[in-house]
Amino acid sequence: MNAATRFLALALGAVCCVTPALAERPAGDGGQRMQGGGINYAPQPGVFVVVSTDTYARTVRLQSADGKTADVHVREEVYDLSALKPGARVRVDFLEPDGMNNRLSAAHVWPVK
């Protein structure tokens, strides 16, 4: 068995060992089942009200229906923050935070009419 084949066998063995552990997580842990069997722990997409925007920092403060607010980072290619005004309603799909960057970030932003 050459080195590449041995590496592939080890990688597949690791995936087979890890995947069942993820599948056994309780349903109430905040995760959402995704197509393909994965679990997404990012906040669920939803409709929010724009409280304020900071185009320099690329953040928008959003308010949920229950009154909670949070600052969300929005990359330039995701949405033009100068188009958002306080009181506007937007639908936001979030990115899953990772170990390198744990700030709340938007994957997609759509205006709600």
Task: Inform me whether the pLDDT recorded for 89 exceeds 50.
Answer: yes
pTM: 0.61
Is 71 within 8 Å of 105 (Cβ atoms)?
A: no
Residue ranges of domains in the chain, CATH in brackets: 46-111 (2.40.50.140)
Between 18 and 89, residue with greater pLDDT: 89
Is 74 within 8 Å of 58 (Cβ atoms)?
A: yes
Helix (H) or strand (E) holding 52: strand 46-54
Helices and strands in the chain, H and E counts: 1, 7
Distance CA 38, CA 32 (A): 8
Residues in contact with 29: Cβ distance below 8 Å, sequence separation at least 6, in sequence order: 41
